[in-house]
Amino acid sequence: MFTAKIKVTLRKTILDPQGKTVEHSLISLGYDKISNTRIGKYIEMKIDVNSIEEATVIVEESCKRLLSNPVMEDYQFEIIQNGAV
């Protein structure tokens, strides 16, 4: 069993109005060293396969086909093998 931790973010070239609005709010709270705030999605899922290679193929395809839209988003993920409990 593996756990995939996936991050989907707006591509760097795309303006993120939500991130900008949150950043303005943080700055108004006094955190004026903050810049480049970007908001994305975090997706976590379990994958019941025997190898990390199989898990990687599944996650990669999931990201490409459904979890992200390549026109506006990038994705990154890490896959962790679940230890025995």
Partner 1 sequence: MNAKVGVVVFPGSNCDHDAYYVFKEIIKTDTKFLWHKEGSIGDRNIIILPGGFSYGDYLRCGAISRFSPIMQDVVRFANKGGIVIGICNGFQILCESGLLPGTLMRNANLKFLCKTVSLKVENNKSIFTSNYGIKEDINIPIAHGDGNYFCDEDTLTELISNNRILFRYNENPNGSIYDIAGIQNEKRNVLGMMPHPERVSDSELGNTDGLKLLSGVAESVI
> Is residue 3 within 8 Å of residue 82, measured between CB atoms?
yes
Cβ neighbors of 23 (< 8 A, separation 6 or more) are 34, 35, 37
The residue type at 25 = S
18 binding partner 1? (CB under 8 A): yes
Residue 49 phi, psi dihedral angles, 5° rounding: -135, 175
Q: To the nearest whole angstrom, how small is the minimum distance from the Cβ of residue 85 to partner 1?
A: 30
Q: Which of residues 22-81 bind partner 1 (CB under 8 A)?
A: 41, 66-67, 69, 71-72
Taking the least distance from each CB to partner 1, the nearer of 15 and 85 is 15
Site of interaction with partner 1 (CB under 8 A): 14-15, 17-18, 21, 41, 66-67, 69, 71-72
